[in-house]
Amino acid sequence: MLAQTGAQAAAEAMRQIDPDVVPVYPITPQTPIVESFSKIVADGLVNSEMIHVESEHSAMSAAVGAQAAGARAVTASSSAGLALMFEVLGVASGMRLPILMNIANRALSSPINIHCDHSDSMGVRDSGWIQIYSENAQEVYDHNFLALKLAEKVSLPAMVMQDGFITSHSLENLEILTDEQVKQFIGRYKPQYPLLNIEKPVTMGAIQLPDYFFETKRQQIQAMSQAREQYDAVAQELSKLTGRSYPKIETHNLENAQAIIVVLNSTAGTALAAMRKLKNEFREKVGLIKIRLFLPFPQEEFREIIKKAVGENLKTIAVLDRAVSLGSDAPIAKEIKNALFDLSNKPQVYSYIFGLGGREIFEKDIKKVYLDLISKKTDHQVKYIGLRQ
């Protein structure tokens, strides 16, 4: 057991993965991941080649080059850094390179703000990366191995999210695996067509015109479906090592719940604590869903969970988003409405926006959402938690 921050947990996982190449550019609040890992490199604890690049665009480009060559590449970013990578994120996924990236979630400018919201990772959700969200440092650590193994199985890149500052800078207890266990679990990276294999030369990243581009994109769609199908097997294998479980959608107290909250990352912990502190008469009426695998979104599992809950008692769902999709519904709310569209017996879905730019959310705020849902004191207007009216 170690006392580590979320950032240190990510760096510790990277130490045990011992990636061949780590091209990275520091940005708040991801910086302590880079700092911790560069100390690990300086101490000679890994064989990784750390490349100090001049920007995040270059960081992701170098990761693409390294991974294409046949190396394992891991990087990390936040906010504007992730935004600067945008072009190359699509190159990584289009070239089917299973790069692993740690994200400490931070608001996007403008106004400039260094604190947590999910506008960065939600802003790149169409770029073909697997997205796994983490509630705390322990999940950050565990999800690194889970994401890497899943990514390499289906040849798609994966990012592991943690809340900037809230998780990345908070000290928590961390249970770690032995180096040998991690090595066994992730195995060796065996790319199908490494660029450096001179026995079997290949051309990567060549132009594809209207006659084949569409077919190549169809393969990527298929790979995302495979990631959804193969996730459980990888998660169960990791579970055997850690004793912790990693369902795509984590449910709490759904039996007999009339109202549930859906949320991801650290606020899931806040919501769980709030739920447990409700008075008995209310507590038995509410539940919580934490989304771990956001992309590929586990639509069918979600639909089945809700179908079962509606069959019991479920009437309303509040979806809490720490990001906005300006001019449209918030990202998670949209996914959930989409997933439930085909259900004949649908619960009401309400969208709540919270925590933009690091605005704090407290247990009392979550409690109020639950009480509003139960007492039906809500409507289909989008609600803003913690905003001065």
Partner 1 sequence: MGYNQSQKLKSWKDIPPAGLILSPGNSRENKTGSWSNKKPFFDDKKCTQCQLCVNACPEAAINSGKDKKISVNPDYCKGCAACVEACPRKAIKLN
Contact between 201 and partner 1 by CB under 8 A: the answer reads yes
Binding of partner 1 at residue 209 (CB under 8 A)?
yes
Q: Segment near partner 1 (CB under 8 A), from 2-10, 211-219, 316-324, 352-360?
A: 211-219
Q: Which of residues 222 and 245 has its CB atom nearest to partner 1 in the complex?
A: 222
Among 39, 52, 218, 276, binds partner 1 (CB under 8 A): 218
Does 338 bind partner 1 (CB under 8 A)? Our answer is no
Task: Write phi, then psi, for 89 (nearest 5 degrees).
Answer: -60, -40
Gap between the Cα atoms of 269 and 320, Å rounded = 13
Residue 219, H or E segment: helix 213-242
- The nearer residue to partner 1, 45 or 69, going by C-beta atoms, is 69
Task: Indicate whether 389 belongs to the interface with partner 1 (CB under 8 A).
Answer: no
Of 55 and 222, the one with the shorter C-beta distance to partner 1 is 222
Tokens at 101, concatenated: 């990236």
Among positions 156-195, residues that touch partner 1 (CB under 8 A) are 192-193
Cα angle, residue 18 at apex, residues 17 and 21 outer, rounded to 5°: 115
DSSP tag of 74: E
Considering only the stretches 41-49, 106-114, 182-190, 208-216, report the one whose residues sit in contact with partner 1 under the rule CB under 8 A: 208-216
Choose between 41 and 95: whose C-beta lies nearer to partner 1. 95
> Where do the H-state alpha helices sit in 243-387?
267-276, 280-283, 299-312, 331-340, 363-374
| Alpha-carbon gap, residue 258 to 60, rounded angstroms | 45
Tokens representing residue 88 in the block: 């190359």
DSSP 288: E
At residue 159, what are phi and psi to the nearest 5 degrees?
Answer: -120, 140
Q: Would you count residue 215 as binding partner 1 (CB under 8 A)?
A: yes
Which residue, 96 or 248, is less far from partner 1 as judged by CB? 96
Question: Total residues at the site for partner 1 (CB under 8 A)?
Answer: 25
Residues lying near partner 1 in the complex (CB under 8 A): 94-96, 155, 192-193, 200-206, 208-216, 218-219, 222
